Chain A
Amino acid sequence: MQELINRAKQLLSDGTVARVLGWKAGDMTYNPEPAFFDNVKDLEEHFVYNGFCGANLSKYMIEASKLEGKTLVCLKPCDTYSFQQLLKEHRVDREKAYIIGVGCKGKLNIENIRKAGIKGILSVSGAELSDACDQLTITTLYGDKSLPYADAMLERCSVCKGKEHKIYDELLGDSKETKSADRFAEVERIENMSAEEKFAFFQSQLSKCIRCNACRNVCPACSCRKCVFDSTKFDSSQKANADSFEEKMFHIIRAFHVAGRCTDCGECSRVCPQGIPLHLFNRKFIKDINELYGEYQAGADIEAKAPLTSYVFEDVEPSVVAQRSRS
């Protein structure tokens, strides 16, 4: 981390960048927040980068691209897919970004620590990038606890796309492979359910939705200046689910809208206060795109044509829907 702070200080001092976009230490180990730093003193005192810095900073670059001068942005490997996708959609300015690709040993979800029955968490050690990131030691009001690092990781890290940064100016810090599961296993499990089971699954998950819009607001693919759901002319409820159809409609519309552009960064599931596995919708689309249009990873390549916006003779016919529903 100190290496990262030193490099950021250097680039800020020599005028290469006007500000640094990273994470600011919170009042607990586990609650750092995304932050802009415009002076060396703040960087020294408050900058932090540890296992709890899960937030994908790419989306903040939309606003930062409008500011004077370059912004140094710290991007984890998976965040670089989001940045590149935003670049492809002309939502961020490459000239306004100085990207430091930061190492990643998997990011943690405090909810997983709580789910393991650990309460009254005062501090967590073992989550620094310089640590082995194998085991967490947790000091609590109710005694010391420990938990394997992997058990506290965000789901997305167990199906990591790899620790290679897709776009950067320079790289800093070590990474460690965290992939331990098949990315599409859960989607396949749901595909194999009967229609009634699928409905019951999604009903039980989506009925928890409180329409806080955190999934939408954090999503790098949701970069519309004005969302259709924020329109006062939209003749339906925007802030509350009027009925059980509404809660599904919001998430299904959103999944369709980001299909082919979603990099599977997993932020939607990370921020959901009700723990809804929203990434499953997006992964279903990714899986279908792979099967119907050929392997495609949004954000991996700046040149590749997006499968849903390029039309070729070999494209699958709409009748595939009927064929698949029969099988």
Chain B
Amino acid sequence: MRRISIEALPNLYGKIAQSMDLILPVKTADQTNFSVWSDGCEVDLQTLKTVKSPKDAFFPQSETLYTVKKENRKLNVQPQALKDQDFVVFGMKACDLQGLAVLDKVFLAEPVDTFYAARREHGVVVTLACREPEESCFCKVFGVDPSQPNGDVATWIVDGYLYWKPITAKGEKLTELAKDLFEDASDDAVKAQQTSIQAIVEKLPYANLSLNGWNGDALDEKFNSKVWEELYKPCLGCGTCTFVCPTCQCYDIKDYDTGHGVVRYRCWDSCMYSDFTMMAHGNNRNSQMQRFRQRFMHKLVYFPANNDGMYSCVGCGRCVEKCPSSLNIVKVIKAFEKKEETV
């Protein structure tokens, strides 16, 4: 275990940024999101939840796949170069890291998504333990321990110091880069903090949310439930929940007409949107109820069915905080629980 004082963190940022991009929580216009560090930016390690998850660092909201240019009546196709430079994502929480594990299942399975794989290969993940979990957090339900994040390096902020523990070879290499800035430290302070975080986690209102009945085998029963008919009604059909989610991975592929060519790009899609998975024959989910159901069935039934029981929700609680109609996955789980009690 090593440590660096909080006051000295700008030196660490500067040191890392000399050799690679450093992505970390930055406050801009009053909101904190993961962004590339630049000298003078307002790094914010206080805010527990960035509005968007750090998913963008590996799976950006919008990215070019290839470009086609018209030159002398010929089409010149230029593939987009894959990420080939190392970069660091600093300040990811344990739930966000679990989100990355979900994305890995999707994008690193055959056929491998080369854009994502290149970013995973070059990305160094430095996690940060959660000091003050919020009432909207329910990562415990998915087996995540916010006091014990993993990644390539794990860090904790205790009493004016950032404690730094390299975990993987990538993490050791990054530590080596900035070794002059660290001092050796015992892990007593971290252990004490972990105990207190775990005690708070036990007291969180959603700590004991039950996932009983949610699994890959529950498809017909959950899909055909009448509960959805009521639950979806306040849903505005916006994409907030899907775009702040660390695990939502659906995307659309589109062409942008530049006037003298085409940029083929992909961008996040939302199952809440009316043109989601639109095909030549039309759309197979043509009501908001069906679109709403899709999101939760995917997280709690379809994904575990295809991935050895792994849920594609990590309990970060961003949707809980951000839904304009105060709907969320917790309310869905509770509504089904209640329904089953009354049957």
Question: A271 CA to B243 CA in the complex, in Å?
Answer: 14
Per-position contact with A for B22-62: 1 when CB-CB < 8 Å, else 0? 00000011110100000000000000100110000000011
Taken together as a complex, chains A and B put the C-alpha atoms of A230 and B240 apart, in Å, by 16
Does residue A152 face the partner (Cβ distance < 8 Å to B)?
A: no
Residue B330, interface by CB 8 Å: yes
Q: Considering the chains assembled together, what is the distance between the CA atoms of A211 and B31 in angstroms?
A: 16
Q: Is A68 an interface residue (CB 8 A)?
A: no
- Contact segment of A3-11, A239-247, A293-301: A239-247
Chain A residue numbers with a CB within 8 Å of B132 are 119-120, 141-142
Choose, from A82-90, A91-99, A169-177, A202-210, the stretch at the interface: A202-210
Query: Contact string, A223-242, partner B, CB cutoff 8 A, digits 1/0?
Result: 00000001010011111111
Please indicate the chain A residues that have their CB under 8 angstroms from the CB of B29 in the complex. 204-205, 208, 275-276
Write out the residue numbers on chain B whose beta carbons fall within 8 Å of the beta carbon of A146. Answer: none
Q: Tell me the minimal C-beta distance from A113 to chain B in angstroms.
A: 12
Nearest CB on A from B184, distance (A): 32
Interface residues of B in 259-289 (CB under 8 A from A): 263, 265, 267-270, 273-275, 278
Establish whether residues B28 and A208, one from each chain, have CB atoms under 8 Å apart when the complex forms.
yes
Pair A271/B324 contact, Cβ less than 8 Å? yes
Interface residues of A in 233-289 (CB under 8 A from B): 235-242, 270-271, 273-276
Other-chain residue from A32, A119, A207 in contact with B28 (beta carbon distance below 8 A): A207
- CB < 8 Å: which of A218, A242, A271, A273 contacts B51? A273
Also in contact, A33 and B33, with CB within 8 A (given A119-B132, A208-B28, A237-B267): no
Residues of chain A lying within 8 A (CB to CB) of residue B236: 214, 217-218, 271
B33 to chain A, nearest CB (A): 7
CA distance A55 to B62 in the complex (A): 31
Contact in complex: B31, A275 (CB < 8 Å): yes
Within the complex, what minimum Cβ distance (angstroms) separates B54 from chain A?
14
Between B237, B240, B263, B268, the greatest number of chain A beta carbons within 10 A of the residue's beta carbon is seen for B240
Given known A120-B132, A274-B31, contact A239–B270 (CB-CB < 8 A): yes
Whether A242 contacts B274 in the complex (CB less than 8 A), given A31-B326, A208-B31, A212-B239, comes out as no
Q: Do B325 and A33 have beta carbons less than 8 Å apart?
A: yes
Residues A18-61 near B (CB distance < 8 A): 26-28, 31-36, 55
Judged by a CB distance under 8 angstroms, whether A154 is at the interface is no
- Measured between alpha carbons, how far is A214 from B324 in the docked complex, in Å? 7
Across the interface, A237 reaches (CB within 8 A) one of B28, B48, B254, namely: B254
Q: Is the CB of B128 closer than 8 A to any CB of chain A?
A: no
- Residue ID in chain A nearest B237 by CB atoms: A217
The distance in angstroms between the C-alpha atoms of A276 and B31, with both chains bound, is 9
CB < 8 Å neighbour of A141 from B52, B203, B244, B252: B203
Task: State which of A36, A239, A275 has its C-beta within 8 Å of the C-beta of B267.
Answer: A239
Asked if B315 CB lies within 8 Å of chain A CBs, one says no
Decide: A33 and B61 in contact? CB cutoff 8 A.
Answer: no
State whether the Cβ of B6 lies closer than 8 Å to any Cβ in chain A: no
In the bound complex, how far is the Cα of B263 from the Cα of A237, in angstroms?
Answer: 11
Q: Establish whether residues A239 and B324, one from each chain, have CB atoms under 8 Å apart when the complex forms.
A: no
B334 neighbours in A (Cβ, 8 Å): 27
B278 engages A214 (CB within 8 Å): no
**0 or 1 for each of B57-72: is its CB under 8 Å from A? (1 = yes):** 0000110000000000
Chain A residue with Cβ nearest B327:
A33
Contact A239 B273 (CB under 8 A): yes
Query: When A214-B240, A218-B324, A242-B256 are in contact, do A141 and B135 touch as well, CB less than 8 Å?
Result: yes
Known: A240-B61, A275-B31. A235 touches B239 (CB 8 A): no
Residues of A contacting B205 with CB < 8 Å? 27-28, 122
A270 to B, closest residue via Cβ: B324
Q: How far is the CA of A310 from the CA of B249 in the complex (A)?
A: 48
In this assembly, does A213 line the interface, its C-beta being within 8 Å of a C-beta of chain B?
yes
A273 x B325 contact (CB < 8 A): no
From known contacts A26-B331, A35-B233, infer whether A212 and B238 are also in contact, taking CB-CB under 8 Å. Answer: yes
A32, A122, A142, A208: which has the most chain B beta carbons within 10 Å? Answer: A208
Inter-chain contact B133/A120, CB cutoff 8 Å: yes
Q: Which of A27, A140, A211 contacts B239 (CB 8 A)?
A: A211
Is B191 interfacial (CB-CB < 8 Å)? no
Contacts of A214 in B (CB 8 A): 236, 238-240, 324
Residue from the list A140, A205, A218, A270 in contact with B238, Cβ < 8 A: A218
Beta-carbon contact of B134 and A119 below 8 Å: yes
Given A26-B331, A141-B135, check contact A34 B238 (CB 8 Å): no
- Measured CB to CB, the closest approach of chain B to A99, in angstroms, equals 19
Q: Which residues of A contact B233 (CB under 8 A)?
A: 34-36
A121 within 8 A of B: yes
B133 proximity list for chain A (CB < 8 A) = 120, 141
B61, closest chain A residue (CB):
A240
Q: In the complex the two chains form, what is the Cα distance from A237 to B273 in whole Å? A: 14
Q: A210 CA to B320 CA in the complex, in Å?
A: 17
Q: Provide the A177-209 mask, 1 if CB < 8 A to any CB of B, else 0.
A: 000000000000000000000000000110110
Among B240, B275, B321, point to the contact of A232 (Cβ < 8 A). B275
Within 8 Å CB of B158, what residues of A?
none
29 A-B pairs (CB sep. < 8 Å): A27-B334, A28-B135, A28-B205, A33-B331, A34-B233, A55-B325, A110-B321, A121-B134, A141-B133, A204-B28, A208-B28, A208-B51, A210-B51, A213-B273, A214-B238, A214-B324, A217-B237, A217-B324, A235-B256, A235-B257, A236-B256, A237-B62, A240-B268, A241-B62, A271-B238, A271-B324, A274-B31, A275-B31, A276-B29
Additional A-B contact list (15), CB under 8 Å, known A34-B325, A55-B234: A33-B234, A33-B331, A121-B134, A141-B132, A208-B33, A210-B51, A218-B236, A232-B278, A237-B254, A239-B268, A242-B62, A242-B265, A273-B51, A273-B243, A275-B30
Residues in chain A within 8 A of chain B (CB atoms): 26-28, 31-36, 55, 110, 119-122, 140-142, 204-205, 207-208, 210-214, 216-218, 230, 232, 235-242, 270-271, 273-276
Closest 3 CB pairs of A and B: A240-B267, A271-B324, A240-B62
